[in-house]
Every structure is written in structure tokens, then in C-alpha cells.
Amino acid sequence: MVTRLNKDALAHARALLERGDVVRDERDDWSEHAPTTDEENAFIEEHGMAEFARWHLGEDTDASEGTKGRCTFPYGDLSRLHRCAVISAESRAGQYDHDSIEKALKDLLAEIDADD
């Protein structure tokens, strides 16, 4: 699997933070705050796959273009940036040696925490 950093998604995440569209929740909250499959599908139907991809810092280039499987490392609930999602994604990126994604997430978390 070749997963690369989605720079457009990182810019989107930072813009959300700058606007204050961020939830400063705890690490374990992501299981409750993550969008459901139905919510993801409704979002894609309304906004398209390109907009859905902007909510994921990773892009699996081995997966087919235009599929949800291509989008990895979500950082929000499709409306706001979530601290818990960033923490969860950073942990997974480190676990699977996606260094550029892990660094971007670590930096994003520092920005979230500094903004408190």
C-alpha cells in the first residue's frame, strides 16, 4: 500500500482550525464522533468524492480513484476538525510508518493544543 499525504486536506484542516471549526475532545471520543457509513455516503452524494477526500490526510494510491477506500486518516466529522480524530490518525500513521502523514498530524495536534 502506497499512502501519500493529501496536502489539500491538510490545508482544509488548518483552515477549519483557523475559523474555529474544531472540537477539542479527548482521544477515545473518536469512536463516538466519527461519521457513520450512512453519513459518509450521504455526504458523498451531496458534495462529491473530491470534497470527501478533503477530510482525509492520507490517499492510498493503490486503491481505485473515486472510491472511499482511497481516503485514509480522517481528521473530522465532515463538518468540524476533531482533536480525537487527529490523535487516532497520528497513532495509526506512526504504526504503519507513514512518516509524512504522522508528522502532519503531529503538527496539526500541536496547533490545536496551542490554540486552547
Task: Tell me the domain boundaries of the chain.
Answer: 3-114
pLDDT at 27: 84
The packing angle between helices 99-114 and 83-95, to 10°, is: 150
Per-residue pLDDT of the chain (116 residues; tens, 9 = 90+): 689 999 999 999 999 999 999 999 988 899 999 999 999 999 999 999 999 999 999 999 999 999 999 999 999 999 999 999 999 999 999 999 999 999 999 999 999 999 66
pLDDT at 2: 87
Residue closest to 23 by CA, chosen among 90, 114, 112, 88? 112
Burial of 97 (0-12, 13-18, 19+ CB in 10 A): exposed
User: What is the spatial distance between Cα 56 and Cα 39, in angstroms, rounded to a whole number?
Assistant: 15
